[in-house]
Amino acid sequence: MFMSRPRFIAALGLGLAAFLAMAAAPAGPLAPPPTRDWVKILFEAMKAPVPPRRLVGDIYYVGASGVSSFLITTPAGHILLDTGFEDTVPLIQRSVALLGFKLEDIRIILSSHAHVDHVGGHALMKKLTGARVFASAADAQVLASGGLDDFLPFPRDTKVYAPVAVDQIVADGEQITLGGVTLTAHLTPGHTRGATTWSMDVSEAGRTYHVVFFCSLTINPGVRLLRNASYPGIAQDYETAFARLKALPCDIFFGPHPIQFGMADKFARMDRGEGVEALVDPAGWHNLLAVSEKAYRDQLAAEKAAAP
């Protein structure tokens, strides 16, 4: 059962506060990898339930307070973008039912990137729905390993999950179509080797909106941009990602973590009667990219300065 609105707001605040603490941590070589206890506390704070809702067109929010999941419905079945943790799959299942849809009608499972908090539920969701899993080649390798091939310098047991086989590899610019809905894959690596941003056009009330599902550009604590033996090309991949994302038209954007697209504020504004207009935020999109790039360039400069 979903919590009351006051309890939801309180839980959402706790989840976002935890994620803010992670985002504010010193980057790269200036900070050690996180401890097991730190990661587990953070992950638990992300799992509080959120009432599901329609966002724009046939896009619905079915995720948790700190990790996003999006349901895109079509007459031929549905698309699920990110499954969260394995133990948030029941939350998604309840959310889909509350919206009046059937979980077994999910035909395609996509992901923003192959970290445990976004794909940990893939194997279970595939078992429950029979859906086909689509991913980039690099993230498909991590998915098949159940996170063992993840370059993150986190404690092993905090980043592993049930392995899942990918049914179809997607390339940069490839389009996935189901029931008249088309999403385009944009490979935007760095956060993971195969991180993927998805875009689609949505029509509502006579207007077409360019919608972007952001992959994340955060540099996790302990991850180096230079002399990274586990991911030698990481710096160049971030450069590629910034260039591709800057070229995307965007009216509305969402992210794998609610804080990345200002979910709490935008949902509150929707509830006050602004409707879809509360989600329209091209300035916020450009600011997100600018802040992410500055963090990248600051860390790159710090690593170069610290190099012997």
Q: Report d(CA 45, CA 39) in Å as an integer.
A: 10
pTM, two decimals, is: 0.91
Q: What is the pLDDT of residues 285-294, one digit of tens each?
A: 999 999 999 9
Helices 5-23, 36-45: axis angle to 10 degrees equals 150
SS3 208: strand
CA distances from 147 to 55, 151, 158, 227, 239 (A): 31, 9, 9, 22, 24
What would the pLDDT profile of 211-265 be if each residue is shown by its tens digit?
999 999 999 999 999 999 999 999 999 999 999 999 999 999 999 999 999 999 9
- pLDDT per residue over 108-151, tens digit each? 999 999 999 999 999 999 999 999 999 999 999 999 999 999 99
Do residues 184 and 64 lie in contact, with contact meaning Cβ atoms separated by under 8 Å?
no
The DSSP secondary structure of 147-206, one letter per residue, reads: TTT----S-GGGT-------SEEE-TT-EEEETTEEEEEEE--SSSTT-EEEEEEEEETT
The two structure tokens encoding residue 305: 């300065």
CA distance 169 to 38: 34
Mean pLDDT of the 10-16 span? 40
Phi-psi region of 229 (alpha: psi -120 to 50; beta: other; left: phi over 0): alpha
* Separation of alpha carbons 9 and 258, rounded Å: 13
Other Cβ atoms within 10 Å of 306 Cβ, number: 11
**In the numeric block, which tokens belong to residue 204?**
């509502």
- pLDDT tens readout for residues 44-83: 999 999 999 999 999 999 999 999 999 999 999 999 999 9
Domain containing 225 equals: 5-306
Nearest Cα neighbor of 219 from 245, 190, 198 is 190
Quote the pLDDT of residue 44. Answer: 94
Of 18-32, 44-58, 260-274, which gets the smallest average pLDDT?
18-32
Q: Which residue's entry shows tokens 């800057």?
A: 246
What CATH number did the domain enclosing 232 receive?
3.60.15.10
% of the chain exceeding 90 in pLDDT: 87
Are the beta carbons of 299 and 219 closer than 8 angstroms?
yes
Phi, psi of 29 (to 5 degrees): -70, -10
Number of domains forming the structure of the chain: 1
